[in-house]
A = this chain, B = another copy of it.
Amino acid sequence: MTLKKGAFILMEYTVYSKDDHKIIDTTVEEKAKEGGIFNENSKYEPELVIIGEGMLFKSLEEELVKLKEGETATIELPPEKAFGKRDPSKIRIISARELSRRGIIPRVNEEVEINGQRAIIRSVGGGRVTLDFNHPLAGKTLVYNIKIVKILKEPSEKLRELVYRWLKRALSRKDIKVRVREKVITIILPIRILSVENLGIAIRGIIRDIQRYFPNVEKIIFREEYEFPRKEVERERKQDRSPKDTSKIEEESSKS
């Protein structure tokens, strides 16, 4: 079976540069640590890919869609199918004075930004600086180890992923509850989401995504719940007294 355009996939991947075997990017924590690129502010977990949306290199996606849930594959992408070949015309020599006028002290291997374009400083000497405007991964053959962790089929699973990808920094997947009822979508979030900075941007993103992938939906309801913790304490106390008869306790507390 080939996955169709619009399919929602949770994918795990690690990408190496073929020549030096250096890990470039990964969704797996131990691989990040192994490759020396671990960042404690990042989340290492399977990522959402929607087929046909240009989220992956085309030739990577072409291999991906042949896989089944749980399957792994190693896919090699030559430079022309990844970040392109190295272009010698993108290497330019400028005077060190020109750089210092822009407030840059040139150091070899450092990345600088010149007129909105990024370059790596390849050499410094004799008042001249060699700048390489090629993408840092241009000319590299990339090796992807990928795994299809899950193919999402339920509308509610897809919806949760769409919400999650906008709120990743603040929440985990399990914090998000969703309901899809005909033309109304309800998204239940923890109360602390209301303290997130720039929440409006995420909300607009979620609304746009829902409009795109659930075109029949007419209404979205966001819902955040707050329960007073005091009540929890009371419930626990009651449970301490008769720990087995939970159903009765629930009844009691809802009457009181």
Contact = CB atoms under 8 A, between A and B. Distances in A.
Contact of A226 (B194, B219, B225): B219
Nearest to A200: B195
A242 to B, nearest CB: 21
Interface string A32-69: 00000000000000000000000000000000000000
A208 B51 CA distance: 46
Interface size class of A (residues with CB under 8 A): 20 to 34
What is the total number of copies of this protein in its complex? 2
A114 B83 CA distance: 60
Given A223-B222, A223-B223, A226-B219, A203 B194 contact: yes
A221 interface: yes
A181 to B, nearest CB: 12
Contact of A194 (B191, B199, B225): B199
Nearest to A195: B200
27 contacts: A191-B203, A194-B194, A194-B200, A194-B203, A194-B222, A195-B199, A195-B200, A195-B203, A196-B200, A199-B199, A207-B226, A217-B228, A218-B227, A218-B231, A219-B225, A219-B227, A220-B225, A220-B226, A220-B227, A221-B223, A221-B224, A221-B225, A222-B224, A222-B225, A222-B226, A223-B223, A223-B224
